[in-house]
Chain A
């Protein structure tokens, strides 16, 4: 019973983590940007979906769509207003740009967090679930919404895989993540790839955010922990490796779920962080890292 419970819950949590972290890994892999506003963008998507339901009285599907749309828009705004001006700046030395972008995205995240708290308070918000009720799986009363979360995550991951491996644009993105200079030699414009990647990222965090909002709920306080969890999953998986992030997400998801069930929910995040420290010592490039 407990075994099945952990298996099911860990899978749902891991799928959600995977979706959130894959976009984060993709952005880093392609453009070298560590986007510390990640959690804030996700929370923005959730709050938008929640507000659409409550203030505009739209249904759960429309609410979810608005949430994803806000994730996409927020991601593109982050790229055009925060990241790109710094990448193109002549005044900042090339080798200092990474740290400038890191700081800028962190501040941008704090700004979004404060704006959300100001307009929508820091109390937690949940998105109205698309599917309700519970399903009995191996004696475990599982919310249908939890299964829905895992299924949607895998559909989106599958679509992303097809996009990257089966389309020309996707292959260009993949190539750019391996060798940006090589891609430009092939006549592909890097800025276009960046825009495509930030758009994909926006959809990923929009979907992940809305699902998280339906499954567990978030508040403006979740901004930091969400960024931190994506960051540690991506570091664990290997910076820039999307498949590494996928595996690491499940490792962290199951480790957290097992801790919560077998030890105490209060210590939930600790073993995953310890694992991160161990991986940093033993294999600094992460599970599937190239760099």
Chain B
């Protein structure tokens, strides 16, 4: 037994040394002469997620066609996470350790991004999310900046979204339609916890009294009892916070002819395919978004939408716009940093000032409560409030970008509760 061990030990030591060497070589941040690699981890099977790798590829193609970054081409490496946090973590590890990506664009699901966040620090790899919303992502960065500074929130935080919805609600609902009360209806998920908290705070300030607050399970298939309960409370409007669910509540709202308008966040309604998915039941639904198919938020918006439509045959989802911008500003940061070193890249990313498709991209600073969250406001991102009308997504707010007027299907009794 002893002799056998002696025979094996040196061999084992050699393997171990080789493995350690390989691991050392694999650690990210080494200067590379090949292309700049951006990993894209997304939900290829979901409408919102499927636009992410497509938009990223489109941006990379455009950048490469105009000469690349510092002479290097950009290569997109895509991973389908099947909407699973566990698969996302494995993909992230593979992206960083095996595929040696220089940055990662990941997911529209907050739970997934929260699972990936600690790994950005462990593997020192910059990650930007194009669609998750939970405020906790950036709150975590505030608590442990040194480890989590590699995470950037490339989409609005839930609190910011709620504030934008309230701003639109004040103009469109309280001032224009003289509506006075609402029931908040949101899905039970990580992103809606801060959203609801802010809704409950900002809606009364916008002039809408909150009569009730309903959190529904994302597994709900029959929404009749929920609409029934809401109707019993006689609100003027239903304030939504839904993303994982969308088709079913919308179709049932129409089918049951619930006479109360729906207004707020309905992420799936941002997809151009939503009209077909709901067989037109979405008519009259108002939803917040950072972009819309025919709205020139910035001079870059419509050229992107057209290029995307030409290449992929459909309009991008909301996370498509942000993913497209992200490739550009990551490339811009690498250019300014003159390196793909993760720490230098973080510093450069923090100084981002980029006009993208959804507005002007700037990140909040290290000393705020939400470092690396997007700045929101008239100078940066204002968001939109759109309404589905006759199969089209019509923008109603802010007024300077509006291309239509608010109107509702006949079963809606606007302000009937008053």
Task: For the complex, give the distance between the alpha carbons of A239 and B418 in Å.
Answer: 54
Task: Give chain A interface residues in 136-185, CB to chain B under 8 Å.
Answer: 141, 143, 145-146
Question: Does A123 reach chain B (CB closer than 8 Å)?
Answer: yes
Task: For the complex, give the distance between the alpha carbons of A134 and B268 in Å.
Answer: 26
Name B247's contact: one of A9, A53, A125, A128 (CB within 8 Å): A125
Interface centre among B188, B223, B225 (most CB of A within 10 A): B225
Task: Give chain A interface residues in 2-49, CB to chain B under 8 Å.
Answer: 5, 9, 13
Interface centre among A117, A124, A129 (most CB of B within 10 A): A124
Known interface pairs A5-B228, A266-B188. Does A145 touch B255 (Cβ–Cβ under 8 Å)? yes
Q: Which residues of B contact A5 (CB under 8 A)?
A: 224, 228
A/B pair count, beta carbons within 8 Å: 88
Q: Are B279 and A128 in contact (CB under 8 A)?
A: yes
Minimum Cβ distance to chain A for residue B302 (Å): 25
Name A265's contact: one of B216, B246, B271, B279 (CB within 8 Å): B216
Q: Are B248 and A217 in contact (CB under 8 A)?
A: yes
Task: For the complex, give the distance between the alpha carbons of A220 and B47 in Å.
Answer: 13
The range of chain B's interface size is 20 to 34
Q: Are A143 and B256 in contact (CB under 8 A)?
A: yes
Minimum Cβ distance to chain A for residue B279 (Å): 4
Task: For the complex, give the distance between the alpha carbons of A171 and B222 in Å.
Answer: 37
Q: Are B83 and A121 in contact (CB under 8 A)?
A: no
Known interface pairs A5-B228, A266-B188, A266-B216. Does A123 touch B222 (Cβ–Cβ under 8 Å)? no
B-contact 0/1 string along A201-224, CB 8 Å cutoff: 000000000000000111110100
Minimum Cβ distance to chain A for residue B188 (Å): 7
Minimum Cβ distance to chain A for residue B229 (Å): 8
Question: Does B403 reach chain A (CB closer than 8 Å)?
Answer: no
B-contact 0/1 string along A259-289, CB 8 Å cutoff: 0110001101000000000000000000000
Task: For the complex, give the distance between the alpha carbons of A66 and B221 in Å.
Answer: 24
B interface vs A, CB < 8 Å?
Answer: 45-47, 50, 83, 188, 216-217, 219-226, 228, 245-248, 251-252, 255-257, 268, 271, 276-279, 281
The 7 closest A-B pairs by CB, nearest first: A124-B247, A266-B217, A117-B45, A260-B225, A128-B279, A143-B255, A217-B248
Besides A118-B45, A123-B46, 12 more A-B contacts (Cβ < 8 Å) are: A122-B83, A124-B277, A125-B277, A126-B247, A132-B255, A217-B252, A222-B221, A225-B221, A260-B224, A260-B225, A265-B216, A268-B220
Please name 10 pairs of A and B residues whose Cβ atoms are closer than 8 Å in the assembled complex, sorted by A.
A121-B50, A123-B247, A124-B248, A134-B257, A265-B217, A265-B225, A265-B226, A266-B188, A268-B220, A268-B222
